[in-house]
Amino acid sequence: MRSMNVFKKVRNNYVIWHANRIQLQEFPSSPVVRKQIVFSGRVQKVGFRLEIYTIAERMRLTGTVTNLKDGSVEVEVQGEEQQISFLVHCMKSLKRASVKKVTMSDLPIHESEKDFTIVK
């Protein structure tokens, strides 16, 4: 059990390092939207939620990210549309995961939401 915790810590440190190296660009101002995004494929047990969380925090997006029982990852994310598209692009191009399918739908905006959280 101890070696698993060491592995997880090393992986998490790598994920945070990787997510912080992504060059964020200047985005033209776009409307604030809220999206539900489901990533399917090999997206669990590879630091996918932590990567999303770290990038979302850097871009000041709000919402949640959750592992689903079927092996996919669900994100509810709120922010400017261009930023959300950039986040999706980053996750689709992630080498240690294998995103096979992305489904996206519009959600109502949560005016009072201030943070991005990983749901355990």
Residue 51, Cβ density class (10 Å: 0-12 exposed, 13-18 middle, ≥19 buried): buried
- Clarify whether 12 is annotated catalytic: no
State the catalytic residue, choosing from 2, 49, 58, 60.
49
Residues linked to residue 107 through DSSP beta bridges, in sequence order: 34
State which H helix or E strand residue 68 sits in.
Answer: none
3-state SS assignment for residue 54: helix
State the catalytic residue, choosing from 11, 42, 58, 67.
67
Residues linked to residue 78 through DSSP beta bridges, in sequence order: 34, 62
- Clarify whether 67 is annotated catalytic: yes
Q: Name residue 66's amino acid.
A: T
Which contacts qualify for 6-9: CB closer than 8 Å, 24 or more apart?
A: none
- Active site amino acids: 49, 67
